[in-house]
Structure 1
């Protein structure tokens, strides 16, 4: 049992630390807002007449308008916030989501460049979809895990609860369903199954159907449907998290996949690997079907390439294996396909594209446009003929020398740093170095004792690193990760750049706050946080005092071991909790897994006090 004899002094430290935290990160968030010198293109969109390409410049705070025939920049429309997605309203107007914690939905008049806000207060809004038939708009309120249904004027009609972090959505051509992809799995990490999900929303009733993807599916990035509305395709990482991280060969740790969904039948057809036996296809992102329906194209953000897949051949193979017929040496039944690195052999071409950060893509005619996030350009690939090839590129601005932070961010997302390009750092730490929700059995603290992935936010400011503190600091952890997770030897400059990127990360304000402020419950919870002893360990501006404690959460061989006190900053974003992800919620941490009050004095708290404490912690 911990002692709390220094409580009055700790209360003073707590309040001072809170003031420092609010002041420091409030300024940091303000400084990060606005346009940067880099464009960071994503979220490509083509006009209905295919004459105009729209590009969201996600750190340039602008919408680039490009002529598809000349491949030249027509104009750039300035936006009040950095854009996160776009959809076509009509021949002259776009719907654009923008901003982060106080996100907005914008209406953009392309001809006049007039921009007006039709809704605000969403938390990291993404994936706008326009439903002309019902005169509705659908927007993913990402960190509130919901789809917001609005009128065309922005008036909120309904909120539809979905799974964790909806990040991409597409409506079927007949307007019957919305297919929603979610970045992260939702639930505890210490069981036999954990995967992100796809949700189908019936747009008449707004009822939902949740589809489970194969075990380990995470980092879902994009979704598209074919012209018939029969099949949807979702890109994602397929993690082999139940294996110890002893090697990378043949996709031992992470593989990269596209899942095929039969939308009318509301079922997963199968999941197909995009990797080859000795060459990964890391971090699949954008996905699209060409106008004729013959090719499925996937952008690979980690390997700077696109996959061009013969769609008829793909579905023939899937139908054959579903019927129990042998397709490859591995796949003679459907359940083997997600483990078959040769399933696409002969039916897919990999096309290298110059630049770095191949994220979004869109197809018009026989041309694929690919957004190269880190090199601020659009690459164009010609699909005509039997051998697709890159035929040009458009720089979106002047060449700007990369800052150390930007270079480190690029390295963090670049699988060329990894043996056989199976994964990048972002494969396990997606969304700016945060979490994948999974447990991994790294060998730095033994074997057979998996740990939940930690957010890298504030990792350099809160040593030591790792749950058991086995790395003295984050600098040591970065270098060990390159050697023992990427299985590579890299120049010191690469690791130093990644350090600079991670140090530059800033927390996002919690969606549990109201207009940026603590709710009444959270204000009461702040008092409970102090009086229950939470501040004994979670003190100071980073809500950790940097020591390790045995709070009774160690199991088996780790029983009695001391665990590093994690920061609580942005803890609302990092579920599940505890070192092995056994706690689905903060309440579970405080009550269910708090034996003998070793993790704070909560056993005598009323239900209301527990709820208030949870509200406060989730507001940090």
Structure 2
């Protein structure tokens, strides 16, 4: 595939007020500034949005938000709306001309994606940790409707003349012993205010990050990981453990048409973060944060190959049939190009008819691809996030280039700031054939030993082992200490089950049951005595193996539960590993409410 966007210009915004100098600059979003022209670039570290022109020249306009921006949209009156991160999330209304704040409205727990729907004349936002989609009036800021969707909704696009929305949910919402285990997409009818269909991605799909549609509304594209969790973790070659994919959704049939590997046979395209279709519908651009590059797929050729394969034609030497495209690492050969961004962690992505913009989150460069020349210039936008030991550890944790053939990073199994992927993995630290559920790494350094059975004496040992035996990296001397600092800095997110920061009435009753039945082992600040015990519900190779007492902080976020992930809900878990005394169904629900509030 020939692309005339071969010139890479990485330009410094050193003169941009608030986005330069000694300030840490961690850009993670780029949007159009609408009719005013220019680009809106976020600095997540400073909770800012900066306005620059498309030639990357300084305008000097910026706005500081209450918390970091997660998404942005524009309404017909040329007002810019921003959803801001956090347990006390907010909706900010900005003047499109000067970014001055017109209004600020409280908006639930971690609003994550936002769009304006012309059919309803309202704003729609995903509430990540409430697992809901909210409709909001731009005039009154009132929440008009709340619709339950899947687990951790993170992106949203409209189609069918704005009558339907497609919602991307980040994590699987099922027991780890079921099959298939995969994230689901939701189709929402905006007029009837309900989910009308659920689309399940292929088995092993997790960490769905973003959606995009073509201009005609024929197809949507989702980027995510595809875990080969059923295999032992004894190698990474050819995506043995983890692959990185683009799923194609036919918006007319409302089905997942196919899923295509972004990786090559010899190299991973780890941790795809964002996806955009070019304005002329000819290209699909993907920011691949783990390998620090953009992937460009010829969209016309992609759909041509999919159609030919569906008709039974052998499109590539390795293509067996249409159903085996998912296993064909050569399917995109000749119609896919990689472009290094000359920095670390490209997440942002914005495409115009003649340019593609991205930004390196960890090293702070803004990058523009165009067709005006052959030289490359790269300069910093400010002090990089990786300039501190914590920031460097964050970067290494998300950096697949430190591992063998760049197949995966630590974040491939521990996405979303070192949490978990909802899958069981057969790690070899305790033998083979006894898979265990992925644990969150939050508080792992504060609550030794580590791993489900406490087989690693502390988190420092576990980090070194993970780098060596999961990433198959050659050196850990600089990397491991930095990752330790990063992981130690992480804090549990307050539970969405809390009411104004306090226990609900049901949770207060549940606390009594907890202190009577559970607190002897789940004790102290982290609700663990840091010991191991035999339990009567282990089986197979793990029968009679002592299990570590896990910390319960942020347990509301870490389903599925138990060492094999057999229980998706806390109520199911408590029926397996619950109080010795018999509790009624209502009392069990109260206990679950308390534990989920921690």
TM-score between both structures, scaled by the size of structure 2: 0.93
Structure-2 separation of matches of 1:489 and 1:410: 17
1:441 and 2:419 equivalent?
A: no
Structure-2 separation of matches of 1:390 and 1:180: 40
Out of 528, 552, 555, the residue aligned to residue 571 of structure 1 is 555
Moved more, 66-75 or 482-491: 66-75
Alignment correspondent of 2:506: 521
Structure-1 separation of matches of 2:413 and 2:351: 29
Q: Structure 2 vs 1, CA of residues 587 and 63 (structure 1 numbering), >3 Å: closer, same or farther? A: same
Structure-1 separation of matches of 2:235 and 2:568: 30
Contact 1:223 1:232 survives alignment (8 Å): yes
Contact 1:51 1:69 survives alignment (8 Å): no
Residue pairs, 1:15-54, within 5 angstroms? 37-49=23-35, 51-54=37-40
- 1:360-409 Cα offsets, whole Å, 9 max, x none, are 20101221111211112221112x49xx9786667443567711111000
Structure-2 separation of matches of 1:556 and 1:287: 42
Structure 1 residue matching 2:556: 3-state secondary structure? helix
Structure 2 residue matching 1:359: 3-state secondary structure? strand
Out of 531, 545, 549, the residue aligned to residue 561 of structure 1 is 545
Out of 153, 169, 185, the residue aligned to residue 198 of structure 1 is 185
Contact 1:46 1:364 survives alignment (8 Å): no
Out of 181, 205, 214, the residue aligned to residue 217 of structure 1 is 205
Residue pairs, 1:286-301, within 5 angstroms? 286-301=274-289
Pairwise CA distance, 1:584: 1.1
Out of 64, 71, 85, the residue aligned to residue 85 of structure 1 is 71
Structure-1 separation of matches of 2:25 and 2:109: 22
Residue pairs, 1:394-409, within 5 angstroms? 395-398=380-383, 402-409=387-394
Structure-2 separation of matches of 1:335 and 1:311: 20
Contact 1:50 1:68 survives alignment (8 Å): no
Alignment correspondent of 1:184: 171
Alignment correspondent of 1:322: 310
1:168 and 2:155 equivalent?
A: yes
Moved more, 318-327 or 64-73: 64-73
Moved more, 41-50 or 229-238: 41-50
Q: Structure 2 vs 1, CA of residues 539 and 356 (structure 1 numbering), >3 Å: closer, same or farther? A: same
Pairwise CA distance, 1:443: 0.6
Contact 1:85 1:98 survives alignment (8 Å): yes
Alignment correspondent of 1:369: 357
- 1:77-96 Cα offsets, whole Å, 9 max, x none, are 11122211111224642110
Greater RCO, 1 or 2 (C-alpha within 8 Å, sep 6+)? 2
Alignment correspondent of 2:43: 57
Structure 1 residue matching 2:535: 3-state secondary structure? coil
Q: Structure 2 vs 1, CA of residues 104 and 390 (structure 1 numbering), >3 Å: closer, same or farther? A: farther
Out of 590, 594, 601, the residue aligned to residue 580 of structure 2 is 601
Q: Structure 2 vs 1, CA of residues 322 and 74 (structure 1 numbering), >3 Å: closer, same or farther? A: farther
Alignment correspondent of 2:124: 138
Out of 366, 369, 374, the residue aligned to residue 381 of structure 1 is 369
Structure 2: tracts of 5 or more residues without a match? 1-21
Contact 1:236 1:257 survives alignment (8 Å): yes
Structure-1 separation of matches of 2:516 and 2:125: 41
Out of 96, 108, 115, the residue aligned to residue 110 of structure 1 is 96
Q: Structure 2 vs 1, CA of residues 399 and 119 (structure 1 numbering), >3 Å: closer, same or farther? A: closer
Q: Structure 2 vs 1, CA of residues 137 and 450 (structure 1 numbering), >3 Å: closer, same or farther? A: same
Structure-2 separation of matches of 1:521 and 1:503: 32
Moved more, 498-507 or 604-613: 604-613
Out of 311, 335, 338, the residue aligned to residue 326 of structure 2 is 338
Q: Structure 2 vs 1, CA of residues 163 and 400 (structure 1 numbering), >3 Å: closer, same or farther? A: closer
Alignment correspondent of 1:419: 404
Alignment correspondent of 2:437: 452
Alignment correspondent of 2:568: 584
Alignment correspondent of 1:276: 264
Contact 1:323 1:333 survives alignment (8 Å): no
Contact 1:325 1:332 survives alignment (8 Å): no
User: Alignment length, in residue pairs?
Assistant: 575
1:539 and 2:526 equivalent?
A: no
Out of 590, 594, 597, the residue aligned to residue 616 of structure 1 is 594
Root-mean-square deviation over aligned CA pairs: 1.8
Contact 2:23 2:383 survives alignment (8 Å): no
Structure-2 separation of matches of 1:57 and 1:360: 11
Contact 1:198 1:212 survives alignment (8 Å): yes
- 1:96-151 Cα offsets, whole Å, 9 max, x none, are 01131111111111334322445314111111111133210001100111100111
Structure-2 separation of matches of 1:337 and 1:408: 36
1:552 and 2:539 equivalent?
A: no
Alignment correspondent of 1:31: none
Structure-1 separation of matches of 2:520 and 2:385: 47
Structure 1: tracts of 5 or more residues without a match? 1-35
Alignment correspondent of 1:101: 87
